[in-house]
Chain A
Amino acid sequence: MLFYSIRRFIYMGTILFLLSVIAFIIIQLPPGDYVSSYIAQLEAEGGGEFTEAEIVSLKKQYGLNLPIYAQYFKWVWKILHGDFGMSFQWSKPTSDLIAERLPLTVMISLFTLIFTYVMAIPIGIYSAIHQYSIGDYIFTVIGFIGLAIPNFLLALILMFLFYKYFGLSVGGLFSVEYLEASWSMDKFADMLKHLPIPIIVVGTAGTASLIRIIRGCLLDELKKQYVITARAKGVKERTLLFKYPVRMAINPMLSSIGWVLPQIVSGTTITAIVLNLPTIGPLLFRALLTQDMYLAGSTIMLLGFLTVIGTFLSDLLLVWVDPRIRYEK
């Protein structure tokens, strides 16, 4: 177990390093460098002309005169000290912008995760024990459609329906009067009112696929001999079901627990743009459109880090829960 953890940990380190390289490449991708865009922007705003000397000194300050690998190390060094670079679009440090939106992003994702599990586990179990019943067919069809509708389209359709039939404007996460307000019970209650649509929209696809997974696993388990033996011994159906087969069927869920969260963050991206939610997604989108590359690169790197660390944790969790994997290696 310890050896396995250490090996996984080293892998994780390598991948984190490579991720930072990719993020750096993404920052370097668009033509032109940071200082030129910064200067162009300042000049466009009427901030005056820059002399050659000033430009050179600015470039020196950001280390743009160095060879590319040195630039990379300088960038990493700064990140390790908490400096993710400036976002020139917002004239704020990138880390502040991300820190502002990260809690809300994680919160929406967590709620979505809970929604997914609460919906998918009972439905999956029901579908498996009532295989080929009307209920099973209905859930199967709903599941397929849920998988087939792209998130952002579902968001649009739901917004349209809510607007048309309930007269609700459902964009954003807060009503206008609470936008700038500090946190209070009222603001929290207001937010809870806005939460259902994003959660349903983001959670639908995940729920649909999880139902399929649980149903499939449980069906496989129920055919196994130990179930028949238990039934022959006269174990009650309910005990029989929940004691072993359901526990086994939930296993694949555990292996996904780590990367489901970042996946939801990624899945929320487009939905959040449509629904105008104050999460990381729209921030990244706007950063990419305006080529605010420090912001974009750091965001992508952060999301990648979340995924890698999540996968690492879920691997450990799985080894801990399932002894068969533990003893295999």
Chain B
Amino acid sequence: MKRKKDEISAEEKLYIASQWQLMWRKFVKHKLALLGAVTLIILYIIAIFCEFFSPYDIYERYVKYIHCPPQRIHFFDEKRNFHFRPFVYGLKQTSDPKSWRRIYLEDKTNKYPIYFFVHSYECKLWNLFPMDVHLFGVKKGEMFLFGTDKLGRDLFSRNIYAARISLSIGLVGVILSFVLGSVLGGISGYYGGTADMIIQRAIELLLSIPTIPLWMALSAALPSQWSPIKVYFGITIILAIRGWCGLGRVVRGKLLELREEDFTMAATIAGATNARVITRHLLPSFLSYLIVHVTLAIPGMIVGETALSFLGIGLRPPVVSWGVLLKLAQNFRTVSLHPWLLIPGLFVIITVLAFNFLGDGLRDAADPYK
């Protein structure tokens, strides 16, 4: 059997390749899209196992190190000797004689080497499995790679935990709007008539309310005594309320087009039920468009959550998301004193870029005429 496969030439392979194989081939050629995909996979792995990747407990306060700037990882010490094991210097705190601001200087006498798989604070992976191993850390002293906030909490760990909330909120929101969009858009496109009329007007209505003010109004209306979990789902629903409209339109347009095709007619005459026609014959022919649309919708939701939390009407502490962390950097005086508070913004930008690249690549791959 294996030999037989080898005998098929490359050209023949192209002819017998399925739709998905063809798409995969085109997708792999799109270098930026691959880069985006790899970046996202890494980000999501970090988000899923954030307990393992964060060296410190995110609520632990290091009161001796308030607003401490990011520490640098060194391979060379002050005498230019190379160390195979990277290390950070200890910190010396002084204050600026004029402004009385805290200044942290590197204390070159103390070197803290960084180890992998360090046993440090206790936590529970996914709130289920107790563990104390973390990817890296120092055994003595402290290491704040992204600095600390005004309460002296490690921002590196907080950024990593925030990835879990920020990245998942886009996914959950998109799944919600995907379900809503394909069901309502499907009804609208396949049955037409009154249902179509009502759903299309509803979409037009929702699209005519400016997005950000609508989000703001709805999330400001979430009761303040709600638990973080409830607020989280509240926000995803708010993001999805607007998100499904675009998808609904795409689905409807595609269905209207495909409904008239011969193969649909053939299936109906052969006695297939509506559900079967939709799921077996129509859906596969525009699934790729849906996937592209969804990929491009996720970053919008992530930015939406970030913006809402940044304003203080989205997620609230003790939940950490990138938006919640950015809230610390709300005015530019704080930013000019502590620029590292903007690091979560960098994560947002990288994520959005990666999703855009991936979506672009998928769109090109899904388009058979390109």
A→B interface (CB under 8 Å): 11, 14-15, 18-19, 22, 26, 29-31, 144-145, 147-150, 152-153, 156-157, 159-160, 163-164, 171, 262-263, 265-267, 269-270, 273-274, 281, 284-285, 288-289, 291, 296, 299-300, 303-304, 307-308, 311
Which residues does chain B contribute within 8 Å of A296, judged by CB atoms?
217, 220
Which residues does chain B contribute within 8 Å of A288, judged by CB atoms?
216-217, 220, 313
Which residues does chain B contribute within 8 Å of A289, judged by CB atoms?
220, 312-313
A163, B332: Cβ atoms closer than 8 Å: yes
- Closest B-chain residue to A153, C-beta based? B345
Please, how many angstroms separate the alpha-carbon atoms of A288 and B308 in the complex? Answer: 12
A185 to chain B, nearest CB (A): 29
Stretch at the interface among B15-23, B178-186, B188-196, B200-208: B200-208
Interface residues as binary, B327-350 with A (CB distance below 8 Å gives 1, 0 otherwise)? 001101101100100100100110
Which residues does chain B contribute within 8 Å of A156, judged by CB atoms?
329, 332, 335, 342, 345
Which residues does chain B contribute within 8 Å of A263, judged by CB atoms?
210
- Indicate whether B299 reaches chain A with its CB closer than 8 angstroms: yes
- Indicate whether B223 reaches chain A with its CB closer than 8 angstroms: yes
- Indicate whether B315 reaches chain A with its CB closer than 8 angstroms: no
Selected from A29, A164, A270, A303, the residue in CB contact (under 8 A) with B307 is A270
Which residues does chain B contribute within 8 Å of A152, judged by CB atoms?
307, 310
B362 to chain A, nearest CB (A): 16
- Closest B-chain residue to A274, C-beta based? B330
Name the residue among B208, B209, B214, B306 with the largest chain A CB count within 10 angstroms.
B208
A176 to chain B, nearest CB (A): 16
B234 to chain A, nearest CB (A): 12
Identify 25 residue pairs between A and B in the complex whose beta-carbon atoms are under 8 Å apart, listed by A's number: A14-B201, A18-B201, A30-B220, A145-B353, A147-B356, A148-B352, A148-B356, A149-B352, A150-B303, A153-B345, A156-B329, A156-B345, A163-B333, A163-B336, A266-B212, A270-B310, A281-B213, A288-B313, A289-B220, A289-B312, A289-B313, A299-B213, A304-B208, A307-B209, A307-B210
Please, how many angstroms separate the alpha-carbon atoms of A32 and B4 in the complex? Answer: 76
- Indicate whether B269 reaches chain A with its CB closer than 8 angstroms: no
Please, how many angstroms separate the alpha-carbon atoms of A157 and B353 in the complex? Answer: 18
Selected from A30, A144, A147, A303, the residue in CB contact (under 8 A) with B213 is A303
Name the residue among B201, B209, B349 with the largest chain A CB count within 10 angstroms.
B209
Which residues does chain A contribute within 8 Å of B212, judged by CB atoms?
266-267, 269-270
- Closest A-chain residue to B205, C-beta based? A18
Given contacts A15-B208, A149-B352, could you give 14 more A-B pairs where the C-beta distance is less than 8 Å?
A15-B201, A150-B345, A150-B352, A156-B329, A156-B342, A160-B335, A163-B333, A263-B210, A267-B212, A273-B311, A274-B330, A284-B216, A289-B220, A307-B210
Main secondary structure, interface of B, reads helix
Interface residues as binary, B294-336 with A (CB distance below 8 Å gives 1, 0 otherwise)? 0000010001001100111100000000000010011011011
A30, B221: Cβ atoms closer than 8 Å: yes
- Indicate whether B211 reaches chain A with its CB closer than 8 angstroms: yes
B336, A29: Cβ atoms closer than 8 Å: no
Known contacts A148-B352, A163-B332: does B204 contact A15 (CB below 8 Å)? yes
Please, how many angstroms separate the alpha-carbon atoms of A270 and B213 in the complex? Answer: 9
Known contacts A149-B349, A156-B335, A285-B216: does B209 contact A22 (CB below 8 Å)? yes
A150, B214: Cβ atoms closer than 8 Å: no
Please, how many angstroms separate the alpha-carbon atoms of A31 and B335 in the complex? Answer: 36
B201, A304: Cβ atoms closer than 8 Å: no
Interface residues as binary, B228-246 with A (CB distance below 8 Å gives 1, 0 otherwise)? 0000000000000000000
Selected from B209, B220, B356, the residue in CB contact (under 8 A) with A19 is B209
Which residues does chain A contribute within 8 Å of B303, judged by CB atoms?
150
Which residues does chain B contribute within 8 Å of A19, judged by CB atoms?
205, 208-209
